[in-house]
Amino acid sequence: MENNELLQQVTNKAQAWLDGKYDDATKAEVKRMMDADDKTELIEAFYKDLEFGTGGLRGIMGVGTNRMNIYTVGAATQGLANYLKKEFANEPKISVVIGHDCRNHSREFAEISANIFSANGIQVYLFDALRPTPEISFAIRELKAQSGIILTASHNPKEYNGYKAYWNDGAQLVPPHDENVIVEVNKIKGAEDIKFEGDKSLIKIIGKDIDDRMIEEIKKLSLSPESVKRNSDMKIVYTPIHGTGIKLIPRALKEYGFTNIINVPEQDVISGDFPTVVSPNPEEPAAMALAVKKAEEVGADMVMASDPDADREGIAVRDDSGKFILLTGNQTGSMLTYYLAHRWKELGKLKGNEYMVKTIVTTETFKRIADHYGIEIYDVYTGFKWIAAVMRENEGKKTYIGGGEESYGYLPEVFVRDKDAVSSLALIAEMAAWAKDNGMSVYDLLKKVYAEFGYSKEKGVSLVKKGKAGADEIKQMMADYRSNTPKEIAGSPVVLYKDYASLVQRENGKETKITGMPTTSDVIQLFTEDGTKISIRPSGTEPKIKYYIEVRSDMKSVADYDKATAAAEAKIDAVRKSLGI
């Protein structure tokens, strides 16, 4: 599109906001952007509509069709309300749960959404203040609501906000509901289509009672209470990184029996500006730095962090030299998987119909552990909605033990249907106490898992390809991998190829269908003879093509850990060179 044509299109959309039923402050901001000599800000705000995708909304906050504001949030809520009224037309009452995180405008967006739902005759359960994302899922199930939303942009930078929608099982929307809601949202053309005038009689404020009920359920997950009693004074530094975890996580740890929870005062401050970090992402060392510093000062055993909406977590533990190291999502998940499976067996809880779930890009160590204990394991697409879909399918038929993904998210329970840092951190702390009871540090436990189930190391690589040219390049790269699949990687033959876009796999020259997947996905996987697994997919939210590399190396005992790590790192370098990334 020519620049003049784009500017005209953007100007027309902006003028519609000036002429429409928008508030004065919004109109003043639109006019300011229109009158500016530099039209970049105007173009960015209006060049497209912020899309309600299968995961909801996520975007930069501000005025315009491509921004998170009361009107884009309002359109999403009105569209969801319209769909709920169609889908549950025979229900005597339709109800929704609304929660929000610490971000700027999250409370405002939550209250506006409550007004819109209630204006449409829908009963609203609105949390009295910020709450973790998993608690919204819990409340939907506990209150038998038909749907729910949370205003959160997870661990994105402070400029962002987001809107996640849930169905009546407490899980994020999956087909057909996700696509059907999108259709309804896209029918909302402007502010005049949104019912903003709420019915206060249909809005009920909830809070402490739901907190109490969720904590009681989390306490029932405990597998080693005696170990906690014997190690109750373990020093645990915890940070919510300015977010919602402060509401439940310290309490959950204390209710489990841990008496020495040490806070990071600067990061207990609830703030959408995230004043102590550039990015509130516990995957990043910088976000964990203050907590690690505090742990060094007080001589703590371990560090725990949750992201702003407390659905994922970061862990730091001491290595053999006493230095704190950050664990990867796969490492923490592997130990938690081992702990759950091992303790279930020791306690006689394994009856033969148990299962676990992981995503296809998550380490295969999960599978080796599950296989060892005779536990069925499912592979699903990236995203906890797919883990929840398996749980829904198996409801009343099989017993769920736990599930997780490489991106620092785990779910060790059935009363929530999204990743949950609250319950996960309680069990991880208990796992550390159990390890200590058995003469191990958490780092020792990690080495023990690798010695028993094989060493693996994972590396994520993202190549940024911006703009339309970048999008075209990513599309071409995926096409090239399909038409000219590598025969070998880093000197090891490719023995299995999986293409989830066509649900076709090739092994030993034989082509078969991939079964058990609910839909297709633009993901390719390559497995080599030496145990390397490579997953390739375009990012759904950013201009990136993402590579997930997992390699194996020999580790016959815990003494081989450093040697196995060095060999794996060399193999990862060889894989990257082989793929040209």
Active site residues: 154
Residues in the chain: 581
CA-to-CA separations, 173 to 153, 182, 309, in angstroms, rounded = 17, 11, 18
Q: How large is the greatest C-alpha to C-alpha distance in the chain, in angstroms?
A: 72
Classified as helix, coil or strand, 335 is helix
The span from the CA of 26 to the CA of 445, in Å, is 55
**Within the chain, how many helices (H) and strands (E) appear?**
19, 23
Please count the other Cβ atoms lying within 10 Å of the Cβ belonging to residue 121.
13
Contacts of 289 (CB under 8 A, 6+ apart): none
The span from the CA of 259 to the CA of 271, in Å, is 27
**Start-to-end C-alpha separation, the chain:** 32
Contacts of 28 (CB under 8 A, 6+ apart): none
Q: In this structure, are residues 215 and 136 in contact, taking their beta carbons and an 8 Å threshold?
A: no
Burial of 503 (0-12, 13-18, 19+ CB in 10 A): middle
Amino acid (1-letter code) at residue 532:
T
DSSP H or E stretch at residue 257: none
Q: In this structure, are residues 106 and 243 in contact, taking their beta carbons and an 8 Å threshold?
A: no
From the CA atom positions of the chain, what is the Rg in Å? 24
| DSSP β-bridge partners for residue 548 | 460, 535
